[in-house]
Amino acid sequence: MQEPNWIFAYASVIGNSHISENIPCQDTCKVENYKNYSIAVVCDGAGSCINSHIGSKQVADFCINHFKKLISAKKWDYSKKLPSIELWHKSAKETLFSIKEDLDNFSTKYNFDFKTLSCTVIVTIAFKHGLLVTHIGDGRAGYCNFKDEWFPTIIPCHGEEANQTIFITSDIWDDEIIDTYIESNVIVDKVKAFCLLSDGCEKASFECNLFDQENDKYFDPNKPYLLFFNPNVKILPQLHEQKKTQEEINSLWGKFLTDGNEKLKVEPDDKSMILGVRFIQEPLTENV
Amino acid sequence: MFEGESPENYEQKCLCMLVLDTSSSMAGESINQLNRGLSNFHKEVIEDFVASQRLEVGIVTFDSNVICIQEPKLVNNFEMPTLYTNGSTKLVDGVRMAIDIVENRKKHYKESGQNYYRPIIVLITDGEPDSDQDITGLSKEVSSKIASKSFMFYSIGVDGYNHQKLNQICSTPPPQPLAGHKFYEFFKWLSNSIGIITKSTEGETLMLPPVSDWTQIQM
């Protein structure tokens, strides 16, 4: 059996405020490995929407199916290079629109108010030669190259108030405004690891609200935090080599996201994070 | 086992402006219980780690004078003041001062790059405004600012308050009469509600705790 190109730890854990208010975990994360690529999805259900836990699960499932079809149709899984940013963004937009339509059909079939299924979505598709990323909402994502430099791959979308964002169900599907709300990026780099996460994990894992003393201003560097990610980029392959199953790895990851450090422990919101690490049993060459 | 350190990010802010009646009619049990409620509110917010990092409290008192006795600050950064009663009821001027403070604070948040939740103004009174106070003008201003999502507004009537006039200032949500002197229970509800607001992921529909512990009628 062929080893996957990427190994993963992924989990969604319920937030403290959802436990105390008896609300289900509204996040979903999902990973599928295919022959030459992997698809990773994180969806964060809107806190105020009663069925958003169902919406986030549906959207994650739809993403896996639709983006798999897209890659097969475009033959990107056998291509030696990634598509251009223009082509990827257009394709991602059309695919996310189809997913929105599927969710609408699902809401009609099962008699849910469409807006009660609201959720954000981040999709990262990992190939040997780079990443395709697209998203709607306030999640964060990033990657690390083989020089151990971390970079963000998307910019979260925030409203004027702290708890506002947009969702796949929002009224954004107009040609004139849609590009404001869907961001897509192509990462052509030697990617060693990547992450995608719901906003419940951002304060623990990203530099996202720091104070600039010189300019007397708060700012959002949107930067994956090395001391958070680097230890785990080392640990994940070790667990894989110890022949831990995916379920065992995810269980350890879920425990870490629940109370692995003080920030994670006190976070009131649901937390979802996928960490993907390049599987490097074979020697990595400059041509990879 | 997985492990990792977190960066020192600052928390987003939530401003709660308390607009409190300190006119002579509040003397005695009312002011004593209000002070007890405020003190407990301060203690409960400090004990909620996340709320204590996010909630800024400001206090305006109104009697014959209108004074901001506490500029907006995180609860860890000030001692809750003790209130004393005196004079008449410049309620409209008190609410207007609170609105100005909210607008200035939002401007400060924006200019300094801080994320913030929609501010909350809480008015507590046992009477009615002095006869020269512009209730109609304030009512228009409050309605317009609530509609434009500038802030949320809650009014609480203490025994003997004029429901009609308070309702004229803000009818949605309607004023809530405080049962007896249940300030302690009201502020417990407020700290729980703020706990929910500061942990919400979208501010449109908030499931706040029931008000039955401190009000005479259910909302």
- Per the CB < 8 A criterion, the answer to whether B15 and B105 are in contact is yes
Find, in chain A, the residue whose alpha carbon is nearest to that of B151.
A161
Q: Which of A26, A27, A209, A220 to mutate to test the interface with B (most CBs of B within 10 A)?
A: A209
Burial class (CB in 10 A: 0-12, 13-18, 19+), B52: middle
Q: In this predicted structure, which of A19-23, A166-170, B57-61, B130-134 has the lowest mean pLDDT?
A: A19-23
- Please report how the helices B183-197 and B29-47 are oriented relative to each other, as an axis angle in degrees rounded to 10: 30
B209 CA: distance to closest CA in chain A (Å): 10
pLDDT tens for residues B161-201?
888 989 999 888 889 888 887 887 888 788 777 766 665 55
Helices (H) and strands (E) in chain A — how many of each? 8, 14
- Per the CB < 8 A criterion, the answer to whether B152 and B122 are in contact is no
B210 CA: distance to closest CA in chain A (Å): 13
H-run or E-run covering A257: helix A246-259
Half-sphere exposure of A264 (CA within 13 A, CB side): 26
Residues forming beta bridges with residue A6, ordered by sequence position: A278
**B118 to chain A: which residues are within 8 Å by CB?**
161
H-run or E-run covering A179: helix A178-181
Residue with tokens 């401003």, as numbered in its chain: B15
Query: In b/e form, how buried is each residue of B161-176, taking b as 16+ CB within 10 angstroms?
Result: bbeebbebbbeeeebb
**From CA A18, how far away is CA A33, in angstroms rounded?**
31
Please, which residues have CB within 8 angstroms of residue A248's CB and are 6 or more apart in sequence?
Answer: A239
Task: Specify the pTM.
Answer: 0.87
**From CA B38, how far away is CA B15, in angstroms rounded?**
16
Residue A241 phi/psi, 5° resolution?
-70, -30
Find, in chain B, the residue whose alpha carbon is nearest to that of A264.
B6
Residue A65 phi/psi, 5° resolution?
-65, -50
Cβ contact, residue pair A48, B202, below 8 Å: yes
Please tell me which of the candidates A165, A209, A261 has its beta carbon nearest to residue B5: A261
- Per the CB < 8 A criterion, the answer to whether B216 and A176 are in contact is no
A78 CA: distance to closest CA in chain B (Å): 34
pLDDT tens for residues B111-162?
999 989 889 999 999 988 999 999 999 999 999 999 998 999 999 998 888 8
Tokens of A270: 């649901």
Q: Which of A125, A135, A142, A124 minimizes the C-alpha distance to A226?
A: A142
Cβ contact, residue pair A163, B195, below 8 Å: no
**A216 to chain B: which residues are within 8 Å by CB?**
112
Single-letter amino acid, residue A119: C
Residue by residue, DSSP assigns B143-154 as HHHHHTTS-EEE
**B201 to chain A: which residues are within 8 Å by CB?**
44, 46-48, 163, 199, 269
- Coil, strand, or helix at residue A54? helix
**From CA A192, how far away is CA B56, in angstroms rounded?**
42
pLDDT tens for residues A5-36?
899 999 999 987 777 777 889 999 999 999 99
Query: What is the distance between the terminal CA atoms of chain B, rounded to a whole angstrom?
Result: 50
- Per the CB < 8 A criterion, the answer to whether A275 and A233 are in contact is yes
Strand order in the sheet with A271-278: A6-13, A271-278, A191-197, A140-145, A150-152
- Coil, strand, or helix at residue A154? coil
Q: In this predicted structure, which of A125-139, A159-173, A216-230 has the lowest mean pLDDT?
A: A159-173
Higher per-residue confidence, B109 vs B217: B109
pLDDT tens for residues A177-225?
999 999 999 999 999 999 999 999 999 999 999 999 999 999 999 999 9
Return the DSSP state at B116. Answer: B
- Per the CB < 8 A criterion, the answer to whether A6 and A237 are in contact is no
Higher per-residue confidence, A286 vs A137: A137
- CB contact, 8 Å: B116 with chain A? yes
Please tell me which of the candidates A16, A228, A252 has its beta carbon nearest to residue B1: A252
